[in-house]
Amino acid sequence: MDDYHITKELGDGSFGTVTQAQHKQTGKVGRDLMLALVHRIEQIKTFTNVAIKKMKKEFSSWEKVCELREFKALRSLPPHPNVIALLEAFYIQQTRELYFVFEYMEINLYQFIKDRKGKLLKERTVQSIIFQILKGLHHIHSHGIFHRDMKPENILISTKKKTICNCTNRSDSICNSKQCQNAPWIEHIKTIQDINKSEDSDNYIVKVGDFGLARDIKSKPPYTEYVSTRWYRAPEVLLRSNTYSSPIDLWAVGTIMAELFSLKPLFPGQSEIDQLFKISEILGSPCIRPELSDGAGGGEWKDGVKLAKSLGFAFSQTTPKPLSKLFPQSTSSRFLEFISHLLRYDPRQRLTALDALKHPYFVESNFIFVPQHEPEDIKTIGMEKKRKNGNFLPFKKNGGNLIPGDNKSNNIYSWSKAKDTQIYDANESYTSVNPTTVNCGSPISIDLRRFQLPDD
């Protein structure tokens, strides 16, 4: 491969195979994307390790690639520290193969939990992980997308080595001073053991990944009945509702949070019916109001009872279990209150991602949510807040067209986040481009040898 050196295979899933690779020219991939994530552009470190995902499905044309939900979702999302970054996408017309190049993260949350080997996490560490997941989800939801497949395997985690800041002489991951010459960036620790050895709650980097099942919130139902892994599936999905939306992601966050505290799944159902029984054993029947002081119970859900009846299923008349019995004694009452508002039967009663971020459970522990739009001292071109037809509109600078070109060679197409995203000073003026001129990507000439994986 000309630009990437494959180092090892990471996994093989139903949609594609993933390999770890190193970029041979530091800064070629991801530099502009990184500029959009920090307030300072001097001496910035960039991605050298990447994860390359080869899709198993074949695509007959570049236009078909552009229709892929995962590609559409990741292209339309502005960069965010808690959402996995798609750096490049390559389509080879002769072989109909599609490759995605992502930033590399060492492990997923499932591996992280498994490697704990029963050693419980500190509550503040759980708070930090969930807070970052919620920030990523809020970013996704606020841009009109819901994930539909939130589970530990799709939450990516690393740690960052701390660097001594020149101007404060303190250990900071990213200094806030514009004059700092150190300009440290995140350096990932490479092993699961190293990540689990870290007990510093501020040392974890958490990102939402895998947008293969993502949908536009405004898209018209019916939606696919089967989404997400069963244990993290919301009741409305289990009952075959085809009008669900973003609240299913918040239910999943509640189950993930419970698993982080206990290191075991909260609702480990063996089938969809068993999953509903597992849920009702803990949350009680959706026909019964919760009466316990710690917020136990999933609340009333008349629509759910009707859905169940239409499937020939009836909830047993069970009372909810006290949530305090499910978690370590050291667990705070604020946590019990918080998680009870995520695990509500009725999706309309669940917290939104934004509500969750502003909940006293986080605020009282000094986890303060600050909306991350455009950084103060840079502009991100190619990603306007207004959306049209599911995409962000590009800009042109002082009349100069910044829209990607439409040239290709050897029937190989490429899209690059760095090319789709330009960085300029905030003081410059911008005018929006007519959306009819926007195309899917930036086809360029690429050597086919880039995509040949090493022999076994």
Question: Would you give the distance in Å from CA 126 to the centre of its chain?
Answer: 17
**Is the Cα torsion angle 191, 9, 157, 423 positive or negative in sign?**
positive
Q: Determine whether 406 is an active site residue.
A: no
Q: What is the DSSP string of 174-232?
A: S---TT-S------B---HHHHHH---GGGEEEEE---TT-EETTSPSPPPS--S-GGG
Please state, in angstroms and as integers, the Cα–Cα distance from residue 181 to each residue in 47, 163, 176, following that order: 20, 12, 11
Closest CA to 131 of 293, 363, 436: 363
Are 35 and 378 in contact by the 8 Å Cβ rule? The answer is: yes
**Is the Cα torsion angle 151, 109, 70, 138 positive or negative in sign?**
positive
Closest CA to 352 of 146, 83, 64, 189: 146
Catalytic residue among 149, 210, 249, 420: 149
Please state, in angstroms and as integers, the Cα–Cα distance from residue 422 to each residue in 36, 367, 379, 400, 425, following that order: 9, 31, 8, 13, 10
Q: How far apart are CA 341 and CA 343, in angstroms?
A: 6
Cβ contacts of 157 within 8 Å, gap of 6 or more: 105, 106, 107, 108, 109, 112, 129, 195, 204, 205, 206, 207
Please state, in angstroms and as integers, the Cα–Cα distance from residue 257 to each residue in 113, 126, 192, 218, 337, following that order: 11, 7, 20, 28, 13
Closest CA to 3 of 447, 456, 455, 454: 447
Token readout for 30 is 């991801």
Cβ contacts of 96 within 8 Å, gap of 6 or more: 58, 59, 60
Rg of the chain taking only CA atoms, in angstroms:
23
Q: Quick one: angle between helices 123-142 and 247-262, nearest 10?
A: 170
Token readout for 409 is 């060679």
Question: How many other CB atoms sit within 10 Å of the CB of residue 193?
Answer: 9
Q: Which residues of 25-56 are buried (b: 16+ CB within 10 A; e: fewer)?
A: eeebbbbbbbbbbbebbeeeebbbebbbbbbe
Amino acid symbol at 266: L
Question: Would you give the distance in Å from CA 240 to the centre of its chain?
Answer: 25
Q: How far apart are CA 405 and CA 409, in angstroms?
A: 13
- The set of catalytic residues is 149
